[in-house]
Amino acid sequence: MVKELVVYPDDRIIMCGPVRSFKDPSLPKLLEDMKETMEAHNLNALSAIQVAHPFNIVVIKQKDGSYLELINPSIIQKEGRFESIETTSYYPGITFKIPRFEKIKVLFEDRNGNMKSMTIEDKELSATIQRKLDYLSGATPLYRLDQNQRDRVIQALKDKGVYRPEEVCPLFSKKDYITSFNSKLLFFMGLTLFAPLLKNYSPWIKNHIQSFWQFDKFAYILSWILMIVYFFYAQYEAKKYRQCTSCQIGNQIGVIGKHLLIATAIFLGALFFLKP
């Protein structure tokens, strides 16, 4: 049966577990389903996780048309390095240049549970096996790129209209909790400025002028700390949601500047009216 491929931005590429039972009839069925899926999509290799089965299984179509089944594979020897030009069904239409090992030795089991090993000297096959094993560990080719290359690939996908759900700008940002709390803090700081006007009408207020001053000093420092936290969290969101205008540096500076300006104005007022 032809299986549905897991394709970006589907995030079901996760760490896979080993195949433990070789007598389970679902194992040969999965292997045959993977082959049918490869034929249907014109693929030369497939990891089980790419059809949403989290098991350490790789199937590769060889040049003679036969299939190589690698169950619980691991690379036990590596030699040489080269730049491999690769494509993958997980990122349709994207080409990667990834450093791979030229020669590898793979330890694996066949569908009957027999342990085998194979030395791969063909660069193309070596790169293919390495790429498919990356998937088994929960990684995709994107993880093999440096930050600049990764950003270019993500942008190329966005140009195609493809986003991860978490890359879409949220309606409410967690950093808004920081500004909301700080706004309430500034509100109570502002209220303390009315204390000198009311001290003649309320003995309690008159007796707590010093406490109001101490509160304003603490709140002013806390406001600065909150805005520093806001800035760094906003930078994190700016990288995560690149298309979100509320995460851009100009907007961040505007929000921080407004809050700190109000805090400073209130603190200077407290310094003038409340400080003993």
- 101-159 pLDDT, tens digit per residue, is 999 999 999 999 999 999 999 999 999 999 999 999 988 888 888 878 888 888 888 87
- 33-47 pLDDT, tens digit per residue, is 999 999 999 999 999
**What's the mean pLDDT in 197-223?**
86
Q: Is 58 exposed, middle or buried (0-12, 13-18, 19+ CB in 10 A)?
A: buried
pLDDT at 187 over 50: yes
> Can you say whether residue 70 is alpha, beta or left, with left for phi > 0 and alpha for psi between -120 and 50 degrees?
beta
pLDDT at 173 over 70: no
pLDDT at 218 over 90: yes
Q: How many CB atoms lie within 10 A of CB 207?
A: 10
Residue type, 258: K
Q: What does the DSSP 8-state code read for residue 153?
A: H
Q: Is 231 exposed, middle or buried (0-12, 13-18, 19+ CB in 10 A)?
A: middle
- Phi/psi of residue 47, nearest 5 degrees: -95, 150
Rounding to the nearest 10 degrees, give the CA dihedral for residues 249, 246, 238, 187.
80
- 46-79 pLDDT, tens digit per residue, is 999 999 999 999 999 998 999 999 999 999 999 9
pLDDT of residue 203: 85
How far apart CA 24 and CA 38 sit, in angstroms, is 22
Beta strands, E only, the chain: 45-47, 57-61, 67-79, 82-87, 95-100, 103-109, 115-120
C-alpha 82, offset from chain centre: 28
In 3D, which of 83, 92, 71, 77 has the Cα closest to residue 124? 83
In 3D, which of 108, 153, 98, 95 has the Cα closest to residue 131? 98
C-alpha 207, offset from chain centre: 54
pLDDT of residue 156: 83
pLDDT band at 204 (very low <50, low <70, confident <90, very high): confident
pLDDT of residue 270: 85
pLDDT at 28 over 90: yes
- 231-259 pLDDT, tens digit per residue, is 888 777 766 554 454 455 667 788 888 99
pLDDT band at 166 (very low <50, low <70, confident <90, very high): very low
**What's the mean pLDDT in 74-102?**
93
- 188-202 pLDDT, tens digit per residue, is 998 988 888 887 788
pLDDT of residue 225: 94
Between 252 and 266, name the one with better pLDDT: 266
Give the pair of three-digit tokens for residue 122: 């063909």
* Beta carbons of 73 and 106 less than 8 angstroms apart: yes
pLDDT band at 171 (very low <50, low <70, confident <90, very high): very low
**What's the mean pLDDT in 158-172?**
60
First-to-last CA distance in the chain?
Answer: 83
- Phi/psi of residue 105, nearest 5 degrees: -120, 125
Q: What does the DSSP 8-state code read for residue 36?
A: H
* Beta carbons of 217 and 264 less than 8 angstroms apart: no
